[in-house]
Amino acid sequence: ELFNRQFVSKVVLSRNGNGVIGDYVTCCVYESPKPRINASLLSQYISRPVCFVGRLEKVHPSGKALTLSDGEGKSASVELSEPLDEELSGIVEVIGMVSNKGTVMAVSYTQYREDKISFDLELYNEGLKVLHDFPQHYPFEIYDFYISRNIYI
Amino acid sequence: MWNQGKYGEASMAGYTQSPGGFGSPAASQGGDKKGRTRAQQIVPCTVSQLMSAVQAEDVFKVGEVEIAQVTIVGVIRNTDKSTINIQYKVDDMTAAPMDVKQWIDTEDMGVDNSVIPPGSYVKVSGNLRSFQNNRSLVAFSVRVLEDMNEVTSHMLEVVNAHMQQSKPQSMMGGGAGTNMMPTAQTSMSSTGSYSGASMMLVNGLSANQNQVLSLIKSCHEPQGISMQDLKQKLSSMSVTVIRYTPPLGRVS
């Protein structure tokens, strides 16, 4: 299994994409489509890269695990390969692979700024539903019309 | 109002108010030498749509939508500044980060030419370019998002823009109405699944039949869509099923 826990744990957490990137999984996630999902969809995206946006509820004392809640109030567990080196709060977006336990193995995170205007997470969740209802108008994939199959860059 | 059946004519759906900075659509004069109206709007897109866009001569099309000036919203992953331009890689989660090039105006000291740091969410407005099979955006505006709700609004604007300019048959009523309820294009249960497994009948046709119908309708060639193409696009359906589709009286 290519994305087993042991392999993913070697991924270096790179906050802004300028950290050490040498690992296959990290490159794979950055260069892949990363469908935006909420907690209810986690089980449908096991072993796939995703983008998860949620409110920070808890940071594990080790600093290597987070709990985020989505716009429906449901929780998701996020695991980091290295402990957090800063204070995080509010709305956090993580990208990473979904483990077979349904946790997001994060390769990167971005905090959504709310210094001027707060982020409406419930509305974002409604937006997610629209994206998933109309994949033909918001594709998380590239369609090569000449080859007539989906390709990933 | 809707010109049906004219291949390549960009429908001027025209967005009304929008904070996304759309220009007002130019009137369709039809004076273009090819009988085609060049798109004048700025179209919100995803990177995946830009990468998938079909290029015919100097025109890009995403499905029905002709695109030239576009907006994307994403996070900066990489920056590279030279004396004449700034290059960014912008990731909107739909594909690999897109190359965005912003020319530096060396004359105009009033313009802020400082590089936006990686990790920042931005809205990029620019023109799609293709060079040696490499797609990129030449940006005339790269603006840091101060309101992250623009991420959500861009998602909705993209779907809205591309849905409005889909086949007219999918609209209930014309004009700039925001219509989020599709008619019988594809089968859609309330959970949004698209596979042909649903037994639900929409417009008197099953899910499989609706898929075949929508593919036939989406083909613009006067001779119609070939069996070969249909088979290829509906790889999950056996040829028998496609052939067996009862007469689809409404295919125009």
Q: pLDDT tens digit string along B178-187?
A: 444 444 444 4
Interchain pair A142, B147: CB under 8 A: no
Residues on A contacting B at a C-beta cutoff of 8 Å: 15-18, 30-36, 51, 91, 95, 110, 112-114, 116-117, 119-120, 123-124, 127-145, 148, 153
pLDDT at B157 (0 to 100): 97
Interchain pair B151, A114: CB under 8 A: no
Q: pLDDT tens digit string along A59-101?
A: 999 999 999 999 999 999 999 988 999 999 999 999 999 999 9
Residue A2 near residue A71 (C-beta atoms within 8 A):
no
Interchain pair A16, B117: CB under 8 A: yes
Q: How far is A83 from chain B (nearest CA, A)?
A: 19
Report the alpha-carbon distance of residue B212 to residue A43 in Å, rounded.
30
Residue A71 near residue A38 (C-beta atoms within 8 A):
yes
Query: Which residues, 6 or more positions from B147, have their beta carbon under 8 angstroms from its beta carbon?
Result: A116, A117
Query: Which residues, 6 or more positions from A74, have their beta carbon under 8 angstroms from its beta carbon?
Result: A38, A39, A40
> Is pTM beyond 0.90 here?
no
Higher-pLDDT residue of A133 and A23 is A133
Is any Cβ of chain A less than 8 angstroms from the Cβ of B80?
A: no
Q: Which amino acid is at B190?
A: S
Is any Cβ of chain A less than 8 angstroms from the Cβ of B188?
A: yes
Is any Cβ of chain A less than 8 angstroms from the Cβ of B52?
A: yes
pLDDT band at residue B133, thresholds of 50, 70 and 90? confident
Q: Which amino acid is at A111?
A: Q
Interchain pair B156, A31: CB under 8 A: no
pLDDT at B219 (0 to 100): 61
In this prediction, what percent of chain B has a pLDDT beyond 90?
Answer: 37
Q: What is the mean pLDDT of chain B?
A: 70
pLDDT at B58 (0 to 100): 81
CB-count burial class (<10 Å; 0-12, 13-18, 19+) for B190: exposed
Residue A12 reports pLDDT greater than 50: no
For A132, the closest chain B residue by CA position comes to B192
Residue A95 near residue A35 (C-beta atoms within 8 A):
no
Mean pLDDT of all residues in B240-251: 46
ipTM: 0.81
CA angle A128, B90, B141 (to 5 degrees): 100
In this prediction, what percent of chain A has a pLDDT beyond 90?
Answer: 69
Report the alpha-carbon distance of residue A57 to residue A80 in Å, rounded.
15
Report the alpha-carbon distance of residue A29 to residue A97 in Å, rounded.
7
> How far is CA A87 from its chain centroid?
19
Per-residue tokens: B160? 């809205």
Residue A55 reports pLDDT greater than 60: yes
pLDDT band at residue B56, thresholds of 50, 70 and 90? confident
Among B93, B156, B163, the residue with its CB nearest the CB of A36 is B93
Residues in chain B: 252
For A124, the closest chain B residue by CA position comes to B152
pLDDT at B142 (0 to 100): 96
Q: pLDDT tens digit string along B2-51?
A: 444 444 444 444 444 444 444 444 444 444 444 455 557 899 999 999 99
Beta bridge partners of A53: A93
Among B75, B89, B152, the residue with its CB nearest the CB of A123 is B152
pLDDT at B190 (0 to 100): 41
Beta bridge partners of B169: none
Q: What is the mean pLDDT of chain A?
A: 82
Higher-pLDDT residue of A1 and A48 is A48
Mean pLDDT of all residues in B210-227: 61
> How far is CA B162 from its chain centroid?
5
Report the alpha-carbon distance of residue B65 to residue B73 in Å, rounded.
19
Q: How far is A4 from chain B (nearest CA, A)?
A: 23
pLDDT at A6 (0 to 100): 32
Beta bridge partners of A95: A51, A108
pLDDT at A28 (0 to 100): 79
Residue B156 near residue A129 (C-beta atoms within 8 A):
no
Report the alpha-carbon distance of residue A22 to residue A2 in Å, rounded.
16
| Chain A residues inside the 8 Å CB shell of B148 | 91, 112-114, 117, 119
pLDDT at B9 (0 to 100): 40
Q: How far is B165 from chain A (nearest CA, A)?
A: 10
pLDDT at B150 (0 to 100): 98
Is any Cβ of chain A less than 8 angstroms from the Cβ of B158?
A: yes
Helix/strand/coil percentages in chain A, nearest 5:
20, 30, 50
Per-residue tokens: A138? 């918001």
Mean pLDDT of all residues in B135-152: 97
Report the alpha-carbon distance of residue A153 to residue B198 in Å, rounded.
32
Beta bridge partners of A36: A51
Q: How many CA atoms lie within 13 A of B157 on its CB side?
A: 25
Report how many Cβ contacts below 8 Å link chain A to chain B: 111
Which residue stretches of chain A are H helix? 5-8, 24-31, 121-133
Residue A152 reports pLDDT greater than 80: no
Residue B115 near residue B85 (C-beta atoms within 8 A):
no
Residue B225 reports pLDDT greater than 90: no
Is any Cβ of chain A less than 8 angstroms from the Cβ of B119?
A: yes
Neighbours of B117 (CB within 10 A): 11
**Residue closest to B64 by CA, chosen among B130, B121, B5, B8:** B8
Interchain pair B192, A153: CB under 8 A: no
